[in-house]
């Protein structure tokens, strides 16, 4: 019997089977180019309907930088879920640290945010990632972050 091939993409349904986030805090629409234990690219379609734009800022809506970092982390959690084959198994991911965060370009409604994550260290409970958020090939934000993976159930 042959082993099932790992997922190389994750649509919204699969994402919801890997991470617990839901509206209004689910910040990844799909994940593509998944290379288990290595890299993935998340996609976030930024729309004017998102609740944070009501107050950040009403006259000039800008996606908060912390939410861009969170979207990178959610993409990384999907990468871990696929890598560890824990789909549907209540994986919780907790930030342990965020380093070298930089914001270079505003992200606004209408943008397609590409969330490139690379595992720097992983395989167990503690993972470290490098993340880059791009809009039309232009760097919007970058950071390194460490997370703890907690499998419940």
Query: Facing residues of 10 across strands?
Result: 31
Residue 133 neighbours by CB under 8 Å, 6+ apart: 68, 71, 72, 107, 113, 114, 115, 116, 139, 140, 141, 142
Cβ neighbours, 10 Å, residue 36? 16
Is 21 an annotated catalytic residue? no
* Active-site residue (options: 7, 21, 56, 116): 56
Distance CA 44, CA 47 (A): 9
Which residues carry out catalysis?
56
């Amino acid at each position: 019997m042959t082993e099932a091939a790992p997922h190389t993409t994750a649509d919204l349904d699969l994402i919801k089977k890997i991470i617990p986030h839901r509206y209004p805090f689910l910040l990844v629409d799909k994940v593509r180019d998944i290379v288990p234990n290595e890299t993935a690219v998340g996609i976030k379609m930024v729309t004017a309907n998102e609740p944070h734009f009501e107050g950040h800022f009403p006259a000039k809506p800008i996606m908060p930088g912390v939410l861009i970092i969170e979207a990178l982390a959610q993409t990384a959690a999907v990468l871990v879920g696929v890598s560890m084959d824990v789909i549907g198994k209540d994986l919780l991911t907790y930030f342990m640290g965020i380093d070298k965060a930089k914001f270079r370009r505003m992200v606004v409604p209408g943008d397609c945010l590409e969330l490139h994550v690379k595992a720097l260290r992983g395989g167990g409970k503690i993972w470290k990632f490098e993340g880059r958020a791009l809009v039309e090939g232009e760097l919007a934000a970058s950071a390194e972050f460490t997370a703890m993976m907690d499998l419940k159930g």
